Each structure stands twice: as C-alpha cells, then as structure tokens.
C-alpha cells in the first residue's frame, strides 16, 4: 500500500466524485469572463466574475444549479480539462492531467483553504461581479498572456 495522495495515484477519470471536487483549489479563475476573438481564436481574460461567484470565498453560490443559472457555464470533465485553453496553468485539474504535482498553496497540500488566497492565486480582491460591468472589454487582463503568476503583481481593486 502506498502513502501517495490520491491525485498522484489516480487519473482524473478514476477519481471518486468527492476526490474530483476536492481538486478545486477555490481560486475562482475559471469563473472569470473570457472574450474570444472570432477571427484569431485568441482568448482574453477579464477580471469580471460570474454573478454567482462569491468574490470573498471564491466559490459558486449555486454550484449544483450552475448550468441552469448560466447555460454556458463550462462543466469540467476529465475529457475537457486539457482542451480548455483558458484554464490557468495553476489549475489542479490541468496539473493532474499532465502528471504534475499540486502547488504548495493548494488546500490538499497545505491543509488550509486560505493558502490559495494568501499566495495570490485566487481572484479574491481582484475581481468584480458582472452585475457592476457595462463593457467586458474594459476589463481585459494580461496576466494569462504574459505567463505571469495570476494576480501576483496586480493591485487590489477597491469596492
């Protein structure tokens, strides 16, 4: 018997539902709106979050009903994880699919759900609700294009 954690022993499609759900680090980055250029296919990330994202907890306020509330909300599956170009490089689902380990700040590693926030990986303090935005293009962020750590050098937004 091995002492290796489940994410090192199992593929994504071999995980139980509880294991799958626990891989989510609570960063909230997947709940940010994206803008795709129809001509080039380039994807621009924004700092605008879905109205159902709790901006402090970085969790969906109606996770079970998310597809009903937001029909274009993408449900991650083992088959789609590596196809979604907009998933952050820090995403545990992506890392496990690529055979890599989780970061030190991931709650499964640290034992503390706050480390994703203290490490500057989450959208906490760096996103606004779509209810407060008129034009998504005014909120495009470049951290994804530069390869920089998401939000690490971004000043905190007020309000």
Tens-digit pLDDT profile for residues 69-111: 898 899 999 999 999 988 999 999 999 999 999 999 999 999 9
CB atoms inside a 10 Å sphere around CB 154: 17
Domain ranges of the chain: 13-146
pTM: 0.83
pLDDT value at position 90? 94
**What residues are paired with 47 via a beta bridge?**
none
Average pLDDT score over residue span 50-78: 93
> Residue 156: which residues within 8 A CB-CB, separation 6 or more?
125, 126
Tell me how far apart the alpha carbons of residues 72 and 14 are, in angstroms, rounded to a whole number.
Answer: 26
In percent, the amount of the chain with pLDDT more than 90 equals 69
pLDDT > 60? residue 149: no
Mention every residue, 6+ apart, whose C-beta is less than 8 A from residue 17.
none
pLDDT attached to residue 143: 58
What is the model's pLDDT at position 142? 72
Q: What is the pLDDT of residue 152?
A: 41
Cα 110 to chain center, whole Å?
18
Mean pLDDT across the chain, nearest whole number? 87
């Amino acid at each position: 018997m091995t002492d290796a954690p489940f994410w090192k022993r199992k593929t994504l499609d071999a995980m139980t539902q509880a294991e799958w759900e626990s891989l989510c680090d609570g960063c909230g980055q997947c709940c940010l709106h994206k803008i795709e250029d129809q001509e080039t296919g380039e994807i621009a990330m924004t700092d605008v979050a879905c109205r159902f994202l709790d901006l402090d907890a970085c969790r969906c306020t109606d996770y079970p009903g998310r597809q009903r509330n937001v029909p274009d909300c993408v449900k991650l599956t083992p088959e789609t994880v590596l196809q979604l170009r907009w998933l952050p490089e820090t995403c545990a689902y992506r890392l496990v699919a690529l055979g890599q380990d989780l970061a030190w700040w991931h709650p499964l590693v640290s034992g503390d759900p706050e480390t994703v926030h203290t490490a500057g990986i989450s959208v906490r303090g760096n996103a606004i609700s779509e209810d407060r935005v008129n034009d998504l293009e005014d909120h495009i962020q470049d951290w994804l294009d530069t390869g920089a750590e998401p939000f690490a050098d971004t000043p905190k937004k007020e309000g």
